[in-house]
Amino acid sequence: MKLPWKRSGAPSNSDGDDRLARNVLWKIADSPASISAFSSIIAIVSGLIVGFVIMLIVNPGDAVPGFLTILFGWLSEGSRSVGDMLYYGVPIVLTGLSVAFAFRTGLFNIGATGQLTMGAFTAVYIGVNWGFLGAAHWIVAVLGGMVAGAIWGGIAGLLKAFRNVHEVVSSIMLNYIAMYLNTMLIMQLIYNRQYARAVSPLPSALIPTWFLRDVFPGSSVNVGIFIAIGLTVLLHIILNRTVFGYELKSVGFNREAAKYAGMNAKRNIVLSMTISGALAGIAGAIMFLVAGRHLEPVNQLMQEGFTGIAIALLGLSAPVGVFLAGLFYGALEQGGYYLQLFDFMPEIIDIIIAVIIYFSAFSLFIQAYVAEYLRRRLGAEVELPQGATIK
Amino acid sequence: MEYIIEMDKITKEFPGIKANDQVDLKLKKGEIHALLGENGAGKSTLMSVLFGLYKPDEGTIKVRGKLVSISNPNDANKLGIGMVHQHFKLVHNFTVAENIILGHEDTTKGFLRYENAVSKIQNLSKQYKLKVDPSAIIENISVGQQQRVEILKMLYRDAEILIFDEPTASLTPQEIEELMKILRSLAEEGKSIILITHKLTEIQQVADRCTILRKGKYIDTVDVAQTSNEELAEKMVGRKVVFDIEKAPAQPGETILKVENLWVRSIHSNTDRVQGVSLDVKRGEILCVAGIEGNGQSELIHGLVGLTPLSKGKILIHGEDITHATTRERNLSGISHIPEDRQRHGLVLDFSLEYNLILNSYFEKAYQRRGFLAFNSIREHAQDLIQQYDIRSSHGPLSLARSMSGGNQQKAILGREIDHGSDLLIAVQPTRGLDVGAIEFIHKQIIAERDRGKAVLLVSLELDEVMGLSDRIIVMYGGELVGEFDPQTVSENELGLYMSGARRRGVA
């Protein structure tokens, strides 16, 4: 009798274990989505391993407890640390959504930083000066930030659509314009000389905390988390259920086919960049309409925009995935905060988070690698997920 | 030693499919052995195994009686196996000689011994009657000559076993005849040849024996001289095949499409690739644009459907001027378009089948409600078309277009475009790369469209298709129309002369 996994005349490498492994690999190879998810997990795990190795080199004695703190620190103080995890996660979720949305239309918005800066400035300006708005003050300030970000993103979109200027080039340039413009406008319009920073927004402009103050006592979490959840759901619906999302994805997957089908690629490019910018603008508003956080006239690009790129990749450019990846980032950030309890230089926290994010950004590369590995192993033409073209 | 290659019980399994299932191939020294099968029958997989690109799950390969393991193309080359790919692998701005020696350079102390190479090439070219100038630049020579360069490349590497993958796909009838002579003389010089093809006439012309594969399985190896075309086709497809395209005489009605003095600029350079083309297509007829690839047919169609801006000229549909209309407006005014490149233009490969079936109608009332996609009607529409056009796939309406076979991808596009109900159907190489069964189906559908009173503009490179399907033929050469013919009275040879630019006459 022939056993199903032992075929006669089979080469020696086709033993039972190998057969099982191949079946698992086939499952993974079966759909681009599972290759992507698999790659994201590999990215996170390898980032964590390298981070751990760095900790071992710096301080072998505390490496293990320190590493566990990074991973699980966000649970250490119960609702307070969970609340702070959410607080750290929200801006990153939003910049991640910003980059991811542009990705889905086949555009690489590397300018989330600039859009975020413009949003932050506009929100703070409204927050400082438009106290007459009363209860609607913070809402208008956030909307102002959104519009500013949208304009900044839209410029890159217009340049791409009508002048064929690559969005990566134009949005990098716009990042620097936003950075210097921010410094200039703060100095001219809302400068607090005493502290060398922007004037604090009025209390009515700060993002409210509602009942969250009671649920997560002592933490900084505010209703920004609801905005992030709402936008995640909204983008999920737009991308998956609407005609508009259908068009955007068609353009993103195959611009030639979209043109063939009579879609207006230019309009879609401009809209996609505008929406992407708006999301980054909201992130900027939510980051700075907070007590104790101030815009400063320093010529420095804000990192949150770039982190958003990694988060978008890690979240596979799907709104829900990006939301989870953003919260993962928040958890690391929060865990890193508690790392100060051990004998680590404060900078090591940033280095380790950077390593993990860095590896996440590799997930595209890892996707290509995984697909190539599967192709060799199984001999099949494994399809690369959208975007994974780096070889 | 009777056989130079013996592939024995080769099995190669991919996720979900056995691409080769116990396939045998035995090649005699000095014979031309055809490998026949539809797309997806496993011909390429088998050759990839022989060429070291894939490792077989089971089975053995013997070369010259010795058991070998071929794990990459270099191993194959060392065993004297060479391959001419369907799409040539040549460096366009290198000379013929440079291309031939590329990767196999003869050097002393790092300096190229170019003269030696050239004289070796000249000897080979004399011995095998492969006329080609070693100092010519590749982009300046014809496709047929480029193919000879590919052949010389193998001979230069002392290949004894030559594999030709669909070698006639982009040749004119005259060039095909030339190639057949070359194949025969190579065999006479003792080379062993494997000819991958799905064209039965070529097999009858040159092959000694023929191995047939179907759905990954070995079917038979036959002596070509004792087998008819019908038998070969039946073995290949698994059922009887109707060769002749049956159609009633055309009954042309009023003019649907009228094109006046059209000039279309190339996307890549500043020259006009379509130069003053005028034509009209009437209701109930199939007008075929014949020509060799790259003579402006693609640009003509892109100009017609609005993908490339026009330099000058006028396009009328139903007498209505659509010269400046957008692609969407043209589609709505009554143009359906089966594009040349089904994967680049015709489909969004990462979309499901049902999404692809609404690619140019998603905005219509039937498929949306207030901007939200109407999933139920999209699904019903997909199921209708799947049934009507026999579109086969693994997961029905939810199959990823990428995962479907070429034939089914094309049926999906065909169904979508015919379902659109436009008066003009533009079909560009609708059967390119498809197998006999799918070709038969698509031809029938196109004729049915004509009989329903639609105007059909067909662009084809396949002479069989041109002759069998069309009611009127116009030949395009160098961006111009060089002749108009009646398929009843013109011969393939005569068309070939016009297609290669050897002859021309004014078109009414």
Confirm or reject contact between B373 and chain A (CB < 8 A). yes
CA distance A254 to chain B (A): 6
Opening angle at CA A17, ends A11 and A22, nearest 5: 80
Residue of B nearest to A242 (CA): B372
Taking an 8 Å cut-off on Cβ atoms, the answer to whether A242 and B330 are in contact is no
Q: CB atoms < 10 A from the CB of A310, how many?
A: 26
Q: Which of A26, A29, A261 sits opposite B360 (nearest CB)?
A: A261
Which CATH superfamily hosts domain B243-334+423-508? P-loop containing nucleotide triphosphate hydrolases (3.40.50.300)
Least CB-CB distance to B373: which of A11, A243, A257? Answer: A243
Q: Which amino acid is at A293?
A: R
Which residues, including other chains, have CB under 8 Å from residue A192's CB and lie 6 or more apart?
A: A198, A199, A200, A294
**Looking at CA atoms only, how far is residue A266 from chain B in angstroms?**
13
Which among A379, A375, A391 has a CA at the least distance from the CA of A35?
A375
CA–CA dist B474, B495 (Å, integer): 9
Residue carrying the six token digits 């436009």: B422
CA distance A380 to B64: 29
pLDDT digits (tens, 9 = 90+) for B202-218: 888 899 999 999 888 99
- Residues in B 312-371 with any Cβ partner in A closer than 8 A: 326-331, 337, 339, 344-351, 355, 359-360, 362-363, 368, 371
ipTM of predicted assembly, 2 dp: 0.81
A238 contacts in chain B (CB < 8 Å):
none
Strands (E), B94-191: 107-108, 111-112, 161-165
Q: Low-confidence residues of chain A, pLDDT below 70?
A: 1-19, 22, 26-32, 346, 360-361, 364, 375-391
Pick from B338, B350, B395 the residue to mutate for testing the A interface (most A CBs within 10 Å).
Answer: B350
- What is the DSSP track for B477-494? ETTEEEEEE-TTT--HHH
Shortest CA distance from B359: residue in chain A: A261
Which residues are within 8 A (CB) of B364 and not within 5 positions of it... i.e. 6 or more apart? none
* Residues B51/B163, Cβ–Cβ less than 8 Å: yes
Q: Are B15 and A380 in contact (CB under 8 A)?
A: yes
**The pLDDT value given to residue B236:** 85
B46: enclosing H helix or E strand: helix B43-50
Among B55, B328, B368, beta carbon nearest to A262: B328
A390 φψ region: left (φ > 0), alpha (ψ -120 to 50), beta (else): beta
Residue B492 touches chain A, beta carbons under 8 Å:
no
* Residue B262 and residue B296 in contact, taking contact as beta carbons nearer than 8 Å: no
At A94-116, the pLDDT tens digits run 999 999 999 999 999 999 999 99
Give the Cα separation of A305 and A280 in Å (integer).
8
* Residue written as token pair 């070219």: B125
Name which of B49, B348, B352 to mutate to probe chain A: the one with the most chain A Cβ atoms within 10 A of its Cβ.
Answer: B348
CA distance A58 to A343: 9
- Partners of A247 on chain B (C-beta within 8 Å) are 362
Identify all chain B residues contacting A242, using CB atoms and an 8 Å cutoff: 371-373
What backbone phi and psi angles, to 5 degrees, belong to B277? Answer: -90, 130
Task: Give the per-residue pLDDT at A352.
Answer: 73
Round to whole Å and give the CA distance between A92 and A305. 8
Cβ-Cβ contacts under 8 Å for B346 (sequence gap 6 or more): A257, A260, B338, B339, B409, B413
User: Which positions of chain B have pLDDT values less than 50?
Assistant: 508
Task: Give chain A's contact residues with B (Cβ, < 8 Å).
Answer: 7, 9-11, 14, 26, 29-32, 241-244, 246-247, 249-250, 253-254, 256-264, 378-381, 383, 386
pLDDT tens track for A317-331: 899 999 999 999 899
Q: How far is A108 from chain B (nearest CA, A)?
A: 19
pLDDT of residue A31: 64
Distance from B23 to chain A by nearest Cα, in Å? 14
Show the beta-strand stretches assigned E in B366-413: 368-369, 372-373
Distance between A121 CA and the closest CA of chain B, angstroms: 34
Fold agreement (B3-237, B243-334+423-508): yes
Q: Is B3-237 assigned to CATH 2.60.40.420?
A: no
Domain ranges for chain B, please list them.
3-237, 243-334+423-508, 344-421
User: A253 vs B362: CB contact, 8 Å cut-off?
Assistant: no
Q: Which residue does chain B place closest to A256, by CA atoms? A: B345
* Res B471: pLDDT: 94
